[in-house]
């Protein structure tokens, strides 16, 4: 369906992102060493066209930073980001501009991402105006109508002149998605796209993303919700403290987890059926902060099966089961 | 006699110029010692208004009617005067986002001491000792009492908020979305804490949430709310395996499950407006099983089997409904 065969749309290699920790004037005068939040420490993955990769993990694991780096919204310390075969890691903003059109972001909160003073028509048309695309005014209108139809706001005429406050949460998120796809992007990055919405409308938004994926878009979805990832992702990458600790086809990761962190995480996901009440494997505490990373395997202080070697060896992501895991015991 | 029985609770909000919003419409349920009841529904269904109403915590623009029987005594009858002696003392609440409502410039311990002294539970040294016990009971080492809220993680702050609610030894804890902003592992820790508080101390729990799996995990029974009313009420197992209201069935079907088959399906449409009188079943426009009667006649919540009730005409039509 596309000319590029199986070449990944996005290829991230050994990405590292750190944020400096403010040490204050006192710290600077005392020449205390600069410290860093190790937000992302050597992350690699690919997303193909027509594929949805879910980055899952708890808050602070680096999943949002990873997505922001892919979109070149934060600067990586090292690593390489390829988009459609070209290295975009070091592109300056002018050179990035034509690429921005091809990679779009969908935010978590449709109540905040839409400008309350813009009508649906204006909100969806705005990206075309900014990128000077879409030709004549009449052509642009046609494109706006198309985009609204694709997000199933039908008939579009009914919605064109409405304002965000006249729409439900689900409709707002559809408008936000319409504004993202009106430019005809290749990649969508969706950061918790349904977590602010009611359960009864979530599935509709997710099916919409699924349809866009089917039509050939690559989608990187950030989520903390493993059940959603299990149902809608082609592949799942589980992050812990800035690293991908397990990665593979969604069903394989969910049904045959290899990493003890993934196993624990899956064991505590509440199920719909009370008869399936889980034998929960609750890890104590919360993820340690990303300033002081434990030596060896970063999960070792909370790991139920850690052995002395785990304090020494920082495991790489390697084949385990029929996918990848970073654990010497997998 | 139940520990708590709510009967025919109604809440209207005055919208000005003669308009009213009927937010809670004849809600009733009961709670026994040590029982965990889930009050489930989507945003705007009236679940939070229900608990604020029964605690007398609604703003003056709201009018409340109905009975709230605590050990058979109606605490709603005399307004603030009859509710106040029981609020926090018998009926405590952990508000949605309570973990972010701790005073940032006071230590966690001193805030709990303050609650104890305000309610004349303990003073001075005694209050500090009791604070240590309370923190311990929610899994926080007592020596952390001297820490400030910002030194606590989100999960720890939520535990502290629960400790504060338990200060007066209530028999009922109402928790409004207690795990909503938390990560799944921390959520599991808090659910385990609530579970053990119920089984170890006989605390009765009213869990208010939009999250069906959380209710399935923790609660014995659940009441499903839609458009201001309870549309189905029963044991959580029965609600999942044998729902008697289409909304219950469709809400479960919209919820993704880790190992479920197939894609979750959304429920088309939106809930009705509650600022005008409802005609027919409030769910009929979104229901996949609606028939002529549903449009004109509002179904009442009817007892079906022991401990099970639903407000759906289908239950009159055939035995096997949904």
pLDDT digits (tens, 9 = 90+) for B142-170: 999 999 999 998 889 999 999 999 999 99
Given a cut of 70, whether residue B267 has pLDDT beyond it is yes
Question: Taking Cα atoms as reference points, which of A41, A17, A50, A54 lies closest to residue A222?
Answer: A54
Question: Taking Cα atoms as reference points, which of B280, B54, B289 lies closest to residue B172?
Answer: B54
Partner residue opposite A199 with nearest CB, options B217, B237, B251: B251
What mean pLDDT is predicted for residues B270-279? 92
Task: Summarize pLDDT for B286-311 with one digit per residue, the tens.
Answer: 999 999 999 999 999 999 988 899 99
Shortest alpha-carbon distance between residue B123 and chain A (Å): 32
Question: What fold, for A10-102+185-325?
Answer: Rossmann fold (3.40.50)
Would you place residue A2 in the very low, low, confident or very high pLDDT band (cuts 50, 70, 90)?
very low
Partner residue opposite B184 with nearest CB, options A269, A271, A272: A269
Would you place residue B318 in the very low, low, confident or very high pLDDT band (cuts 50, 70, 90)?
low
Tally A–B CB contacts below 8 A. 131
Given a cut of 60, whether residue B247 has pLDDT beyond it is yes
What mean pLDDT is predicted for residues B74-100? 92
Binary contact (B260, A228; C-beta < 8 A): no
Given a cut of 60, whether residue A4 has pLDDT beyond it is no
B250 touches chain A (CB under 8 A): yes
Would you place residue A279 in the very low, low, confident or very high pLDDT band (cuts 50, 70, 90)?
confident
B242 touches chain A (CB under 8 A): no
Tell me whether residue A200 is exposed, middle or buried, using C-beta atoms within 10 angstroms of its C-beta: 0 to 12, 13 to 18, 19 or more. buried
Grouping H, G, I as helix, E, B as strand and the rest as coil, residue A143 is helix
Binary contact (A266, B258; C-beta < 8 A): yes
Given a cut of 50, whether residue A226 has pLDDT beyond it is yes
Task: Summarize pLDDT for A290-307 with one digit per residue, the tens.
Answer: 888 999 999 999 999 999
A279 touches chain B (CB under 8 A): no
What mean pLDDT is predicted for residues A150-154? 93
Binary contact (B188, A198; C-beta < 8 A): no
Given a cut of 60, whether residue B110 has pLDDT beyond it is yes
In chain A, which residue's Cα lies nearest the Cα of B140? A285
Would you place residue B120 in the very low, low, confident or very high pLDDT band (cuts 50, 70, 90)?
confident
CA geometry: angle at B261 spanning A46 and A238, to 5°? Answer: 30
- E-only strand ranges, chain A: 10-21, 35-47, 52-56, 78-83, 86-87, 103-106, 187-191, 218-223, 235-240, 243-249, 318-320, 323-325
B264 touches chain A (CB under 8 A): yes
Given a cut of 60, whether residue B232 has pLDDT beyond it is yes
Binary contact (A274, B237; C-beta < 8 A): yes
Residues B106, B107, B112, B114, Cα dihedral to 10°:
-40
B260 touches chain A (CB under 8 A): yes
Q: Report ipTM (2 d.p.).
A: 0.90
Q: Quick one: pLDDT at residue A25?
A: 81
What mean pLDDT is predicted for residues B264-269? 93
The domain limits of chain A are 10-102+185-325
Q: Quick one: pLDDT at residue A1?
A: 44
Given a cut of 80, whether residue B319 has pLDDT beyond it is no
In chain B, which residue's Cα lies nearest the Cα of A275? B237
Task: Summarize pLDDT for B211-228 with one digit per residue, the tens.
Answer: 999 999 999 999 999 999
B214 touches chain A (CB under 8 A): yes
What mean pLDDT is predicted for residues B87-116? 92
What one-character-per-residue DSSP string does A213-234 give?
Answer: HHTT-EEEEEES-HHHHHHH-S
Task: Summarize pLDDT for A14-60 with one digit per residue, the tens.
Answer: 999 999 888 778 888 888 888 899 999 999 999 999 999 999 999 88
Task: Summarize pLDDT for B36-71 with one digit per residue, the tens.
Answer: 999 999 999 999 999 999 999 999 999 999 999 999
Given a cut of 80, whether residue A245 has pLDDT beyond it is yes
What mean pLDDT is predicted for residues A148-177? 94
B50 touches chain A (CB under 8 A): no
């Amino acid at each position: 369906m596309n000319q590029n065969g199986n070449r990944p749309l996005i290829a991230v290699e050994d990405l590292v992102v750190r944020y400096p920790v403010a040490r204050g004037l006192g710290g600077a005068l005392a020449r205390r060493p600069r410290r860093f939040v190790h937000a992302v420490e050597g992350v690699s993955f690919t997303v193909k066209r027509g594929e949805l990769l879910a980055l899952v993990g708890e808050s602070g694991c680096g999943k949002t930073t990873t997505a922001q780096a892919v979109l070149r919204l934060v600067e990586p310390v090292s690593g390489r980001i390829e988009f459609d075969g070209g290295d975009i890691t070091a592109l300056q903003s002018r050179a990035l501009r034509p690429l921005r059109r091809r990679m779009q972001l969908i935010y978590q909160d449709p109540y905040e991402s839409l400008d309350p003073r813009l009508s649906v028509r204006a909100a969806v048309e705005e990206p075309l105006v900014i990128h000077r695309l879409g030709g004549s005014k009449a052509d642009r209108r046609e494109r706006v109508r198309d985009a609204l139809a694709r997000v199933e706001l039908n008939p579009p005429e009914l919605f064109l002149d409405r304002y965000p406050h006249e729409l439900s949460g689900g409709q707002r998120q559809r408008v936000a998605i319409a504004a993202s796809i009106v430019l005809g992007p290749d990649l969508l990055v969706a950061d918790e796209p349904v977590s602010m919405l009611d359960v009864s409308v979530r599935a509709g938004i997710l099916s919409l993303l699924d349809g866009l994926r089917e039509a050939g878009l690559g989608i990187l979805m950030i989520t903390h919700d493993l059940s959603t990832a299990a149902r809608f992702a082609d592949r799942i990458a589980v992050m812990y403290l800035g690293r991908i600790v397990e990665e593979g086809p969604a069903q394989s990761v969910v049904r045959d987890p290899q990493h003890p962190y993934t196993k624990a995480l899956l064991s505590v996901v509440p199920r719909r059926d009370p008869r399936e009440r889980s034998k929960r494997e609750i890890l104590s505490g919360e993820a340690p902060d990303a300033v002081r990373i434990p030596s060896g395997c970063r999960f070792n202080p909370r790991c139920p099966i850690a052995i002395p070697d785990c304090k020494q060896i920082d495991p790489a992501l390697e084949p385990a089961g029929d996918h990848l895991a970073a654990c010497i015991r997998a | 006699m139940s520990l708590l029985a709510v009967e025919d609770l109604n809440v209207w909000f005055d919208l000005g110029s003669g308009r009213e919003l009927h937010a809670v419409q004849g809600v009733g349920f009961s709670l026994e010692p040590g029982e965990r009841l889930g009050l489930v529904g989507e945003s705007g269904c009236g679940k939070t208004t229900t608990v604020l109403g029964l605690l007398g915590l609604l703003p003056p623009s709201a009018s409340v009617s109905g009975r709230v029987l605590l050990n058979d005594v109606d605490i709603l009858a005399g307004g603030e005067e009859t509710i106040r002696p029981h609020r926090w003392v018998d009926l405590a609440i952990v508000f949605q986002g309570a973990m972010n409502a701790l005073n940032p410039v006071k230590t966690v311990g001193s805030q709990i001491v303050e609650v104890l002294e305000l309610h004349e539970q303990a003073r001075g040294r005694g209050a500090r000792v009791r604070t240590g016990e309370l923190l311990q009971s929610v899994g926080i080492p007592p020596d952390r009492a001297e820490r400030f809220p910002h030194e606590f993680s989100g999960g720890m702050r939520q535990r502290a908020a629960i400790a504060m609610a338990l200060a007066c030894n209530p028999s009922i804890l109402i928790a409004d979305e207690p795990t909503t902003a938390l990560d799944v592992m921390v959520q599991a820790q808090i659910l385990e804490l609530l579970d053990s508080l119920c089984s170890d101390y006989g605390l009765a729990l009213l869990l208010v949430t939009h999250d069906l799996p959380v209710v399935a995990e923790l609660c014995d029974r659940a009441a499903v709310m839609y458009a201001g009313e309870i549309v189905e009420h029963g044991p959580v197992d029965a609600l999942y395996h044998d729902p008697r209201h289409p909304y219950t069935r469709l809400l479960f079907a919209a919820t993704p499950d880790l190992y479920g088959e197939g894609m979750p399906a959304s429920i088309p449409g939106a809930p009705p407006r509650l600022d005008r009188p409802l005609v027919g079943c409030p769910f009929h426009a979104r229901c996949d099983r609606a028939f002529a009667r549903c449009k004109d006649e509002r179904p009442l919540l009817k007892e079906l089997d022991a401990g099970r009730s639903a407000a759906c005409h289908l239950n009159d039509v055939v035995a096997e409904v949904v």
